[in-house]
Each structure stands twice: as structure tokens, then as C-alpha cells.
Amino acid sequence: MTRAKKILATTTLTIAAVLPVTSQASDATITIEGNIAASTCTIKGNGGTENFTVMLPQVSIKSFTKAGDTAGRTSFKLILSDCPTNQTVRFRLAPNAMFNSETGALKNELGAGNAEMVEVAIFDELTGRQLRNDETQSPDQLTVRKIQNNQAEFDLYAQYVARGPVSPGAVKVTTVYMLTYY
């Protein structure tokens, strides 16, 4: 064997030795199943339609002496009727840009010239848990109701929450909510 052929053979063996050994797995199957409901529930928020407004009361800035102080607690309901039987429904807030990941509350979207250093938090009346619109809540912290007699009800409340020294002015927050039936 010539010297060039020996070098080529040695190089080929060296490359083959350092390359990973590949193998091929056998074929496998993924099965995906689901269920399409005949209908979902009719939704009435705060006595109206599924899109609704909750009016927090006017409060004095004297209600807030430090970060974390709350005021203006206002209850509201989300009533579901004409629901499919034998199901459970989960209520959650959808993530949005006005969500404060530190406090779990919604920032005032009105900006400069309106109330500053104040947010609005939403809570489940039944559990007392704050509803966050992010992925930090574990499934056992989510707001869930069993559908009974083709209906379910979520009793909730919203309130102002100070982030620091609050300035006077208007407050407005908006969020989307999602209902999941299972």
C-alpha cells in the first residue's frame, strides 16, 4: 500500500471512529382525541352580556398610605346558564401587556395625567385568591366551578391596589377572560 493510501485509510478510520453512531427507532403512533360540545353556556357578566364593565367607587388618595393598601372593593358576578350537564368550567384571565407580573394586578391603562401608582386586582370571592392573568398559577389555584342544574356562577371582586404614593385621577383596566369546559 502506498503512503498516500495508508494516510487516507488511517484518516478514514479516525473520522469514522469519532462520528456518532446513529440508529433508527421503530415507527410509533400518536393518537389525539377530543370532544366537541353541542354548545357552551350562555354568559351574563354583572347582569348584562359576556362583555361588561365593573364600576369601582371613587375613593380618596388618603385610603392609600403605603404600597399594598387596597380600597374600593366591588363585587360582581359571572353567571353561566344553559350549560352542558356533568361538566366543570374553569375561569381565568388572559395574559396581556397591562399585567404587572410582580403584583398580579392590572396596570392603569390611561397613562399620564390620570391616577398613578395604582392598579386593579381581581379576586375569587369563594377562595379569596387573586386571579392573575399569567401562567404563574398552578391548576389547584385556578377558579373552577362544577356545572349544576345546567348553570354555574363565579362570584368575584375587584379593588384598587396601591403600588406606592397614589396620585388622583381616572383608572381604567381591561382584560379578557377565558372559560374552559371539561
Walk along the chain (182 residues) and give the pLDDT tens digit of each residue. 555 444 444 444 444 455 555 556 567 778 787 767 666 788 888 878 888 899 999 999 999 999 999 999 999 999 989 988 888 888 888 888 888 888 889 999 998 889 999 999 999 998 888 888 766 555 555 677 888 898 889 999 999 999 999 999 999 999 888 888 88
Q: What is the pLDDT of residue 5?
A: 46
How would you class 159 by CB atoms within 10 Å of its CB: exposed for 0-12, middle for 13-18, buried for 19 or more?
Answer: buried
CA distances from 52 to 1, 2, 15 (A): 88, 87, 68
Q: How many Å apart are CA 50 and CA 179, to the nearest integer?
A: 11
Q: How many Å apart are CA 132 and CA 140, to the nearest integer?
A: 13
Query: In this structure, what C-alpha cell is assigned to residue 81?
Result: 346558564
b/e code 59-97 from CB counts within 10 Å (16+ = b): bebeebeeeeeebbeeebebbbeebeeebebebbbeeee
The H or E element that residue 11 is part of is helix 3-18
Q: How many Å apart are CA 153 and CA 106, to the nearest integer?
A: 23
Q: How many Å apart are CA 146 and CA 70, to the nearest integer?
A: 31
pTM for the predicted model, two decimal places: 0.75
Q: In DSSP terms, which residues pair with 99 in a beta bridge? A: 106
